[in-house]
Structure 1
Amino acid sequence: MSAFEFATATQIIFGAGALKQVGTLAASFGNRALIMTGHTPGRAAVLLKMLDAAHVAYRVATISEEPTVETVQRGLEIARNSQCDFVIGFGGGSAIDAGKAIAALLTNGGDPLDYLEVIGKGRTISTPSAPYLAIPTTAGPGTEVTRNAVLKSVEHKVKVSMRSPLMLPRLALIDPELTYTLPPSVTASTGLDALTQVIEPFVSNAPNPLTDAICREGMTRAARSLLQAYRRGDDSQAREDMAIASLCGGLALANARLGAVHGFAGPAGGMFPAPHGAVCARLLPVVMAANVRALQERAPENPALRRYDEVARILTGKPSATSRDGVAWIQELCQALAVPALSAHGMTAADIPTVAEKAAQASSMKGNPILLTMAEIQEILRQAL
């Protein structure tokens, strides 16, 4: 067994109605908060009311799309000019990642390009972030317990991370009730993102016993509840299962590795107006099929192949299921969830070589259980169009 580490948010509070605690909790973090929220700030009204009751001062910044370098810079200026000493991220993965980046920059100085991987200046985050309270309102990214913030550079047409264990939130507050009103399309894309994030670390080339256990739990809950949450958004048990599956995915990806699905998602999200979850949702069954085929042909003794069999048994509930059955189950689920093709986001066949080249160099691709050839990478994209 290889050595491993495991790190997560300082504190995790989970449960229906947990948001009711936010006033007291926020008051212990500082005097003035920057609240980073999504494109429908009215959803944060209940949060603001609780902060007012707790006499917590705040400024609000909004994000209308996936976080960009410019969005984070604008939020950072608001926080600095208003002398905010802690940050609250309230929303989907975009709001929480943006807030996480702002919290890190408040204490480390500079701007996002000083610290971003690949395109940045390579500076190391050396000071713990300002206290950060992450409150997800979707069930998918799990970014409330991860150590990175994924930002899009419009200039470079790529999505890359600021990354450091010092960026882990002080508190992740997860209330499944906040997801009850999500539209079906968002439930589908974020839910499949969560499922991807408990499958990829499990079959990656660097799993560990803790992430294995977390992934098994997440897969079990997503398998039994994602379709139900899509069809019946007010099903409290299904929503709780998906909130836990999302949390499991964040815990797993922060402490193991991901794989080809996320290797593609970064470049695709940087080049096209495609939400991260939607890209992962479309690629998951195609990548699974390609990985299983490559393992069977070139590395039949690779333990990941047996892990794909276990994934199939968990997803289907059948003790005799094999990797092929798991791929078929995912394909049927994606059809039931009406997952759109990548072409719906503007990608064409002419873009395949560029996306493939960028994906081959992505950090997540390095966690894939087998090295995919360029021909295989391009074929995955062709099938996903």
Structure 2
Amino acid sequence: MATGHRRDDAVLNMVGFSLSTPARSVFGRDTRHQAASEIAALGHRVVLVRGRSVAWVDELIQSLTAMGIAVETIFSRAEPDLDAARAGVAAARAFSADCVVAVGGGAAIDLGKALAGLIPSEGDPADYLEVINETPRTLSEPLPFVAIPTTSGTGAEATRNAVISVPERQIKVSLRDPRLLPALTIVDPALTGGTPKGVTLATGLDAITQLIESYLCIRANPVTDAFCRSAVPPAIAALNRLMQAEDPAARDAMARASYLSGLALANSGLGIVHGLAAVIGGRGGAHGAICGRLLPDALRINRAAVVEQSGATDRFDEVAGWLAEGLSAPNSDGIAALRRFIDANGLPGLGDFHLPEADFTEVAEAARHASSTKGNPVTLRTDQIEAILRAAG
């Protein structure tokens, strides 16, 4: 029998908690224009990690150079792996970097964050990663790090960990340290405008999943609850709108949801969806798409497990109501409405993530021990986790 450990809200509101955030955050349209002067106050030899899709980064480099700041550019080509981390550290050390800036999606921000911690730290980057080390080494004092997201999804601009793939072991693991929180986060929703529909869907579902799992998490607290309650309903409605047409107001809502999802997960936790995504993601596939595909059935099976243990389901029902309202299905089951939404908009299935059914038991068992799973609202058996995978399809 699974063992539940969900606290009720009366107890939740009495427990102590701490709050970790970036040292400074700036949110709003056109705030990118103050980035150069803010960065110049943090360093004079800047490693800039970027993707190739946002032309504004070229303007930022020109502005920094005009201010006498030396810039070394590192391109982020995919979700960072150990080899990318090693190459980036070597290049940054040769450049004598004193500050790291990342402009891009979650992959670029994770790589930049990892470099900020690893550049001053001795040894191989692998020595500092969770899971592959029973006792990871402690980072030296990280370089100042600036995060400027150009997608709305991972919330990496507000977290203290960087996710790194280890391809030879088919896993993703975290480099984690409270000092990895950005010295400065600039969230300008205008930088996300025109993001392709498929990327918008996957990243948006990532943010929504993080908010929902943080809300249901056993370590939720009154502050993270406030983040989640304020962000989930408008985020679902905004993502629904963006699947129909480009909309600046919807982009604003998703950028806000992404940032708050990072704050929420950094200060409470996640659940089985992210536990599974950490395992499945090591085989390939976009993290947000994996989360979105798993979320409806994880909610359904988690709720059933809570009922099995005579636990309270009020939070699950609240989430289902948010989903139904945001997806314009007020008289239907919100979880079913979410499944229809992701199918109708072409979100990939588990078969597209190199996960055959023959591997479900192995993946479910690995996910039971993932760090994110520790925050799940109820302890799930391996067969219940396998049921999520079978139902998600």
TM superposition score normalised by structure 2? 0.92
Equivalent positions of 1:169-208 (< 5 A) are: 169-208=182-221
Shift, 1:91, TM fit: 0.7
Aligned to 1:15: 28
Local SS of the residue matching 1:155: helix
Q: Match for 2:257: what amino acid?
A: A
Find out whether 1:239 has 2:254 as its counterpart.
no
* 2:116 aligned with 1:103: yes
1:353 counterpart residue number = 361
Give, in angstroms, the shift of residue 230 of structure 1: 2.7
User: Per-residue deviation at 1:351?
Assistant: 1.9
Kindly report which structure 2 residues correspond to 1:109-120, keeping only aligned pairs within 5 A, or say none.
109-120=122-133
TM-fit CA distance, 1:23: 1.0
CA pair 78-214 structure 1, distance change in 2 beyond 3 A: same
The aligned residue for residue 271 of structure 2 is 259
What residue in structure 1 maps to residue 238 of structure 2?
225
Alignment map for 1:276-315 (pairs within 5 Å): 276-296=287-307, 298-302=308-312, 305-315=313-323
Of stretches 324-333 and 174-183 in structure 1, the one that deviates more from structure 2 is 324-333
Q: Per-residue CA shift, 1:200-251, capped at 9, x if unaligned?
A: 0101111100000000111022122111123223x11000000001011000
Q: 1:324 and 1:307 mapped to 2: Cα distance?
A: 17
Deviation at 1:40, TM superposition (A): 4.2
- Provide Cα deviations, 1:11-42, integer angstroms capped at 9, x if missing partner: 00011111101110111011111111125475
Task: Pick from 46, 51, 54 the counterpart of residue 59 of structure 2.
Answer: 46
Identity of aligned residues (%): 40
Aligned with residue 33 of structure 1, among 46, 49, 72: 46
Q: Quick one: distance in 1 between partners of 2:204 and 2:374?
A: 24
The structure showing larger relative contact order (alpha-carbon pairs under 8 Å, at least 6 residues apart) is 2
Gap runs ≥5 in structure 1 = none
The alpha carbon displacement at 1:306 in A equals: 0.8
CA 1:322–1:182: 2 relative to 1, 3 Å: closer
CA 322–238 in structure 1, closer or farther in 2 if over 3 Å, else same: closer
Paired residue secondary structure (1:117): coil
Residue 344 of structure 1 aligns with which residue?
A: 352
Q: How far did 1:161 drift? A: 0.4
Instruction: Please give the alpha-carbon distance, in whole angstroms, between the structure 2 residues aligned to 1:77 and 1:25.
Output: 26
Q: Paired residue for 2:228?
A: 215
* 2:78 match: secondary structure: coil
Structure 1 runs (4+) greater than 6 angstroms displaced: 321-324
Q: Does 1:325 pair with 2:333?
A: yes
Query: 1-side partners of 2:54 and 2:169: how far apart?
Result: 29
Partner of 1:369: 377
Tell me, in whole angstroms, the C-alpha distance in 2 between the residues paired with 1:198 and 1:241. Answer: 13
In structure 2, the CA distance between the partners of 1:145 and 1:365, relative to structure 1 (3 Å rule), is same
Q: Structure 1 residues 204 and 324, CA, compared in 2 at 3 Å: closer, same or farther?
A: farther
Partner Cα distance (1:64, 1:20) in 2:
25
CA offsets 1:327-371 (integer angstroms, 9 cap, x no match): 123223212332110101222112212211211110111111111
Please, which of 69, 72, 81 is the counterpart of residue 68 of structure 1? 81
1:52-91 superposed matches below 5 A: 52-91=65-104
How far apart, CA to CA, are the structure 2 residues paired with 1:292 and 1:324?
17
Partners of 1:181 and 1:291 in 2: CA distance: 35
Q: 1:219 to 1:67 in 2, by over 3 A?
A: same
Alignment of 1:118-137 (within 5 A): 118-120=131-133, 122-125=135-138, 127-137=140-150
The aligned amino acid for 2:392 is A
Distance 2:215 2:203 in 1: 19
> How far is 1:322 from its partner?
11
Q: Post-superposition shift, 1:81?
A: 0.3
Please, what is the CA RMSD of the aligned residues? 1.9
- 1:325, distance to aligned residue in structure 2 (A): 2.3
Gaps of 5+ in 2: 1-13
- String of CA shifts for 1:284-309, please: whole Å, max 9, x gaps: 1111111112112x22333xx11111
- CA–CA distance in 2 between the matches of 1:151 and 1:109? 18
In structure 2, what residue type is equivalent to 1:300? S
Contact 1:41 1:62 in 2 (8 A): no
Say which SS state the counterpart of residue 152 (structure 1) adopts: strand
1 CA distance for matches of 2:203 and 2:238? Answer: 13
- Measured in 1, the distance between the counterparts of 2:53 and 2:74 equals 11
Q: Give deviations 1:260-291, integer Å, cap 9, x for gaps.
A: 10010001011x22111111011111111111
Equivalent-residue separation in structure 2 for 1:110 and 1:177 (angstroms): 39
Q: Name the TM-score, length of structure 1 as normaliser.
A: 0.94
For the 8 Å contact 1:286–1:384, the answer to whether it is kept is yes
Q: Secondary structure at the match of 1:231?
A: coil
- C-alpha distance in 2 between matches for 1:236 and 1:198: 21
Asked whether the equivalents of residues 138 and 190 of structure 1 are also in contact (C-alpha less than 8 Å), the reply is yes
Q: Which amino acid in 1 is paired with 2:108? A: A
**AA of the residue aligned to 2:311:** E
